[in-house]
Amino acid sequence: MQFLTLLMRNRLAAAGGIVLSLVVLLALVTPLLPLANPDVTDTANRFLMPGAQGHLLGTDHLGRDLLARLLHGTRLSLAVGFAAAFFAAFFGAAIGIIAGYFGGRTDNLIMRGVDMLMAFPYILLALAIVAALGPGLTNALIAVAAVNIPFFARNIRGVTVGLAHKEFVDAARLAGLGHTRIILTEILPNVIPVIVIAMSTTIGWMILETAGLSFLGLGSQPPQADLGSMLGEARGALITNPHTSIVPGAMILVIVMGINLLGDGVRDALDPRLRSGALTRPMPATRVERKGTIPDQGDGEAVLSLRQLQTQFHVKNRIYKAVGGVDLKVAPGECLGVIGESGSGKSVTALSVMGLVASPPGVITGGAVYFQGEDLVGAPYEHLRSLRGDKVAYIFQDPLATLHPLYKVGDQLIEAIRVHHPVGRSEARARAVALLKQVRIPNAESRIDSYPHEMSGGMRQRVGIAMALANDPEVIIADEPTTALDVTVQAQILSLLDELRRERGLAIVFITHDFGVVAQLCDRVAVMYAGRIVETGPTEAVLNAPAHPYTSRLIACVPELGGGRRRLEAIPGLPPAVDRLEPGCAFAPRCLKASAACREGDIALEGPGMRAVRCIHPEAELEEGVA
């Protein structure tokens, strides 16, 4: 049902569907229509023009009624095309599922055969089959279906291999299901959408192919005619009587176009990635739609200062308030930790600074980002670009995904330098080597020519750090840079970052979910929940005397090494969805201290000096902290 609604929402697909239904309907009722016999020749009335008496579309070179031939031909072409698609899909899918599910030798053997068939330009195979079986519509159908089986088999096999290694298949095995049952109940329901997509996008192609064989005279034999053979017969009179060619040709075009439009719609409606709108390309900079007044810079010492920043995701008619008014600032030489769980908005805050939030669906809707006193929200793209990597640099989470897989790490470093500084290649290369040495990569001179996949995770993240350092930026924003790393490697990377920042007086914004990391690295910390900062202050003050119930309970529920075996302090409930935030404190539904006042109105982030908390029942009295 949801599928049909989605399909109909797509106007082009709906149009294609309507056209196709009309054609199919017409083809179905053709025998009932008062038409002339399509095969009766009348040489006296050959090549009548459309509109002639009794012949709506005129007549062909033998004086046969074109309308009747067109409709009967359409009937035949559709039937053959659909039949070919069905057979190809059925056998191809069966072969693909078996090969993909069982894998190993079965897979190897089957796929070698399939590869062999795909080593032919497909028409050669079709021609060979027709040559052996003799021309004729049934043989053309067999040929077209047969040459398409390998395409289906390979496609379906790929999907099945992915599914066969999914954990739910293992789970089914452990639940006592045998192979047949797993294929039928676990694999097949997940493969069917792929089969439907493949079919809907290839039926048009099959119709073209069978028409093509008929056009060559190898398909339907006279007097019986499908659309292809009508075109083939009309070719001789193309220049003198073009209407006999245009009529069947246009019909093929209409049918195939209708099928393709509908097929694309089916694909879009069935493909979950397209459904969630994920297959959109992020623009070079996040969209800005700033409403309300622009807040002033506030504190003058900060090199980077976020004021009332709001970033939202607009997905269809839902609005996710990922960042709901965040104030942050970081001074030169300072390390600010931003801590929160997934969905708290910490990464979106970080990416908003340089307009790197994927857009669509991201939109910066309010507030300001001051860098050295200048507001960057809504700044021209070229200006933003000139700052990116030069003044404000990023280190991202997963170093394998964030480095370009096909460029050598050296070239990626050199590019980072040369984008902002017009230096020669050899000078840039020397600088790149120096950078790799600074991040303690052994054998920097030879490692510079490695590709990312040739390095370990820790080494790759060092490259990521070197890239961020390339232009001596004022601010480095590190978005969970050690989350993907093993604990021993994490320790190496953290101590490297700590050394570098002390050597260079860098301002660092460090995004993480780990209190241990924050405690070891950061001077100050801001705790985020549901898109807002709930508590901030010097790291030690926040960790030793957390004031917000969320902070204190979050600290309590993380087990700490050395505590031995024990029961953990869990927080009941789940973090709220940021598209349905209730008024008041977002933590109230999970908070033991929540009162009626917590659920109404906006609660301010307040406190003395560097300490502040967004709570009316804080756990502790705030003391003015010293960094």
Partner 1 sequence: MTGYILKRLLSAVPVLLGITVIVFLIMALIPGDPALAILGAYATPENVAKINRDLGLDAPLVARYFIWLGNMLTGDFGTSFSLNRPVIDEVLDRFSATLLLAGTSFLLCTLLGIAAGVISAAKQYGWADKGITFAVLLGISIPSFFLGMMMILIFAVELRWFPVSGMKMAYGGGGFADVANHLVMPAFALAVVATGVVARLSRSAMLEVLRQDFIRTARAKGVREGRVVWGHALRAAMVGIIPVLGIQAGFVLSGAVYIEMVFQWPGVGRMLVDAILKRDILLVQGGVVFVAACYVLFNIAVDVAQSLLDPRIKT
Partner 2 sequence: MSTVLKLDGLTKSFPVGKRLLGKPRGVVHAVQPVDLEVQQGETLGIVGESGCGKSTLARMLVGLLPPTGGSIEINGAPLDNADPAEFGKKIQYVFQDPISSLNPRKTIRQVMEAPLKRLHGMTRAARDKRIAEIFASVNLREEFLERYPHEFSGGQAQRIGIARALAAEARILILDEPVSALDVSVQAQVLNLLADLKAELGLTYLFISHDLAVVEAVSDRVAVLYFGSVVEVGRAEDIFRAPRHPYTKLLANSAPVVGRALTAPEGRETELPDPLNPPSGCAFRARCPHATELCAREVPQLSGEDHRAACHHPLDQSGAIETEVSSQG
Stretch that binds partner 2, among 241-249, 287-295, 311-319, 485-493 (CB under 8 A): 485-493
- What secondary structure letter does DSSP report for 43? G
380's tokens = 């021209």
- Residue 462 C-alpha from the chain's centroid: 27
Q: Which does 492 bind (CB under 5 to 8 A by kind): partner 1, partner 2, none?
A: partner 2
Instruction: Look at the block and give the residue holding tokens 């075109």.
Output: 231
Q: Smallest gap, in angstroms, from Cβ of residue 207 to partner 1? A: 9
What are the phi and psi torsion angles at 220 (to 5°)? -60, 140
Contact window for partner 2 (CB under 8 A) among 38-46, 183-191, 345-353, 408-416: 183-191
Measure the CA–CA gap between 208 and 257, rounded to whole angstroms. 11
- Assess 171 for contact with partner 2 (CB under 8 A): yes
Residue that has been written with the tokens 């497909």 in this structure: 122
Q: What does 243 interact with, of partner 1, partner 2, none (CB < 5 to 8 A by kind)?
A: none
- Provide the angle, in degrees to the nearest 10, between the axes of the packed helices 137-164 and 66-102: 30
Site residue total, partner 2 (CB under 8 A)? 65
533 bridge partner residues: 528
Choosing among partner 1, partner 2, none, which partner's interface includes residue 415 (Cβ < 5 to 8 Å by kind)? partner 1
Residue 101, judged by CB atoms within 10 A of its CB (0-12, 13-18, 19+), counts as buried
> For partner 2, which residue of 31, 54, 134, 189 counts as binding (CB under 8 A)?
189
Q: Which does 610 bind (CB under 5 to 8 A by kind): partner 2, partner 1, none?
A: none
d(CA 616, CA 604) in angstroms, rounded, equals: 9
From partner 2, partner 1, none, interface partner of 478 (C-beta below 5 to 8 A by class):
none
Task: Please say which residue, 268 or 327, places its beta carbon nearer to partner 1.
Answer: 268
Least CB distance from residue 246 to partner 1, whole Å? 8
Judged by CB, which is closer to partner 2: 238, or 627? Answer: 627
Of positions 186, 327, 474, 479, contacts partner 2 by CB under 8 A: 186
Query: Which ranges of 120-187 would DSSP assign to H, the alpha helix?
Result: 122-133, 137-164, 167-174, 179-181
Check residue 35 for interaction with partner 2 (CB under 8 A). no
CB of 157 to partner 1, least distance (A): 15
From partner 1, partner 2, none, which one binds at residue 602 (CB under 5 to 8 Å depending on kind)? none
Binding mask 524-563 for partner 2 (x = CB under 8 A): -------------------x---------xxx-xxxxxxx
Applying CB under 8 A, which part among 139-147, 220-228, 516-524, 597-605 lies near partner 2? 516-524
- Give the CA count within 13 Å in the CB-facing half-sphere of 318: 12
Give the three-state DSSP class for 474.
Answer: coil
Least distance between partner 1 and beta carbon 249 (Å):
4
Among 39, 271, 398, 514, binds partner 2 (CB under 8 A): 514
Q: Give Cα separations from 466 to 269, 287, 332, 486, 520 (angstroms).
A: 43, 29, 19, 20, 22
Of 252 and 368, nearer to partner 1 (C-beta) is: 252
CB of 244 to partner 1, least distance (A): 11
Residue with tokens 């694909």: 267
What is the DSSP secondary-structure string of 243-299? HHHHHHHHHHHHHHHHHHHHHHHHHHHH-HHHHTT---PPPSS-EE---SPPP----
Cα angle 551, 516, 512 (rounded to 5 degrees) comes to 70
Neighbours of 576 (CB within 10 A): 18
Residue 477's alpha-carbon distances to 309, 386, 474, 511, in angstroms, are 16, 16, 10, 8
Q: What, of partner 2, partner 1, none, does residue 494 touch, CB below 5 to 8 Å by kind?
A: partner 2
Q: 576 or 607: whose CB is closer to partner 2?
A: 576
- Does 103 contact partner 2 by CB under 8 A? no
Q: Is 311 helix (H, G, I), strand (E, B) or coil?
A: strand
Taking the least distance from each CB to partner 1, the nearer of 144 and 554 is 144
Asked if 196 interacts with partner 2 (CB under 8 A), we say no
DSSP single-letter state for residue 241:
-
Closest approach of partner 1 to the CB of residue 241, in Å: 11
Does residue 422 belong to the site contacting partner 2 (CB under 8 A)?
no
Site track for partner 2 across 119-158, x = CB under 8 A: ----------------------------------------
User: By CB under 8 A, is residue 1 in contact with partner 2?
Assistant: no
Of 458, 481, 538, 618, which one interacts with partner 2 (CB under 8 A)? 458
Residue 496 binds partner 2 (CB under 8 A): yes
Vertex 580: Cα angle to 576 and 582 (nearest 5) = 80
In the complex, minimum distance from the CB of residue 568 to partner 2, in angstroms, rounded to a whole number: 4
Nearest to 214 by CA among 238, 231, 237, 234: 231
List the Cα angle 501/505/510 in 5-degree steps: 45
The nearer residue to partner 1, 122 or 516, going by C-beta atoms, is 122
Residue ranges binding partner 2 (CB under 8 A): 166-168, 170-178, 185-186, 189-190, 341-342, 440-442, 456, 458-459, 462, 486-488, 490-492, 494-496, 498, 513-517, 519-521, 543, 553-555, 557-572, 574-575
